[in-house]
């Protein structure tokens, strides 16, 4: 696409004009090329950026402040594409409500070390420790071998995720793709798990007679 | 435990007295054995039932009406334990907002048939079809081989789930256990997937140099 007026930007991106104006005022979307005092022309980069903003707002449910942080890093051309995507991905973790317990943190660190998953200070590792604490608090602590089996299964899931990611395009498009794919596949996985639970449960009952 | 007054029921279950009174008024919790006009004695079945109610309200976030439906079926001693648990499990699916598309419904039916997962009218199958529609709507449709890989991985997860379920105790306790385990393990799985994505992503970048 060449450059277009705001009405066509709205059509192409599916974002209503008043919302685009709001994103411009808030500094989430960069200005177009001014054409006189009140009009501007927009291009493909605006469409891509709007796509990332919508993924972060509508699908990830991030606050505008966090969206702004992510979009700024992803738009920074001095940041390598891989790091941009990683930065967006880290922001998908909810901000921790309370610090996880030392026990849960140590379990997660041991798991990461054992699998040689060289992540330090990952927001998702903190979220995992919190989730383990929740199970403890509910009186249903997760056994080590169950945690290991879950980690194996989710590694297979991540391999599938990365295979469908394909070649990273520009940072903005790739970040939107990863955010959308990561989040919208979660309900697919959760439903599949529940369906598999019922199917296995049913089979078990039939076998028991 | 023998029979106890309400204050001890509150202590044992961790549910505050005013909340217990509310559940009694709403008919979610069955009455205790009356001791005069205003007092009653409660027993282990009240503790178990409160545990299920809390799992459904606090962890599953169900409406009181849906909680009442579930508790009534689980409490019905003419219903076999396996069916009671299945009924509670079905209610974990959110009520569908819109009917899923025919295409998505057909894909899910094909998946269930292929794996000989003999489920009809499962609420989770409807939720899966809806999740596939969401990915389509976001312009990132899920390929058939990716869906198959995810189904394989989640079957492994379900096997682990069922192994830790152990022997079904009474219906009330087992239903609370399944509801809590199903829901509180979800954030564990989601965090593990995100961690595995980052670890694999990082490894891929190192290999690419």
Neighboring chain A residues of B184 at a CB cutoff of 8 Å:
131, 134-135, 138, 140
Residues 6+ apart with CB under 8 A from A187: B127, B128, B130, B131, B134
Put simply, the answer to whether B158 touches A193 (Cβ < 8 Å) is yes
ipTM value, please give it.
Answer: 0.87
Residues of chain A in contact with residue B117, where contact means CB-CB under 8 angstroms, are 195-196, 198-199
3-state secondary structure of A186: helix
Residue B29 contacts A, CB cutoff 8 Å: no
Segment 107-126 of chain A within 8 Å of chain B by CB: 112, 115, 117-119, 122, 124-125
Which pTM was predicted?
0.87
pLDDT, tens digit, 9 for 90 and up, residues B81-136:
888 888 888 888 887 778 899 999 999 999 999 998 877 668 999 999 999 999 99
Q: Is A53 exposed, middle or buried (0-12, 13-18, 19+ CB in 10 A)?
A: buried
Angle among Cα B151, B157, B162 to the nearest 5 degrees reads 120
Contacts of A151 in chain B (CB under 8 A): 192, 196
**Which of B190, B202, B205 is most worth mutating to test chain A (most A CB atoms within 10 A of its CB)?**
B190
User: Which one has a higher pLDDT value, A147 or B79?
Assistant: A147
Compare A188 and A162 and report the one with higher pLDDT.
Answer: A188
A116-120, A148-152, A197-201: which has the minimum mean pLDDT? A116-120
Residues 6+ apart with CB under 8 A from B14: B54
- pLDDT tens digits along A41-91: 999 999 999 999 999 998 888 999 999 999 999 989 888 888 888 888 888
Quickly tell me which residue has 């990915």 as its tokens: B135
Predicted local distance difference test score (pLDDT) of residue A120: 66
Q: Tell whether A94 lies on the interface with B, counting CB pairs under 8 A.
A: no
Which of A163, A186, A199 is closest, CB to CB, to B117?
A199
Nearest CA in chain B to A121: B195
Q: Does any CB of chain B come closer than 8 Å to the CB of residue A167?
A: no
């Amino acid at each position: 696409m060449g450059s277009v007026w705001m009405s066509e930007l709205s059509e192409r991106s599916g974002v209503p004009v008043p919302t685009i104006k709001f994103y411009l005022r808030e500094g989430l979307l960069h200005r177009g090329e001014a054409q006189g005092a009140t009009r501007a022309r927009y291009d493909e980069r605006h469409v891509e950026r709007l796509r990332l903003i919508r993924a972060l707002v509508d699908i990830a449910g991030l606050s505008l402040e966090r969206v702004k942080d992510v979009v700024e890093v992803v738009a920074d051309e001095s940041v390598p594409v891989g790091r941009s995507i990683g930065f967006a991905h880290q922001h998908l973790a909810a901000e921790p409500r309370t610090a996880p317990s030392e026990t849960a943190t140590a379990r997660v660190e041991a798991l990461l070390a054992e699998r040689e998953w060289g992540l330090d200070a990952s927001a998702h590792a903190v979220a995992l420790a919190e989730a383990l604490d929740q199970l403890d608090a509910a009186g249903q602590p997760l056994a080590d071998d169950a945690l290991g089996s879950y980690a194996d299964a989710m590694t297979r899931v991540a391999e599938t995720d990365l295979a469908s990611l394909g070649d990273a395009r520009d940072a903005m498009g790739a970040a939107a793709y990863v955010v959308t794919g990561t989040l919208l596949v979660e309900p697919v996985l959760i439903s599949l798990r529940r369906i598999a639970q019922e199917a296995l449960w049913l089979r078990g009952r039939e076998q028991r007679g």
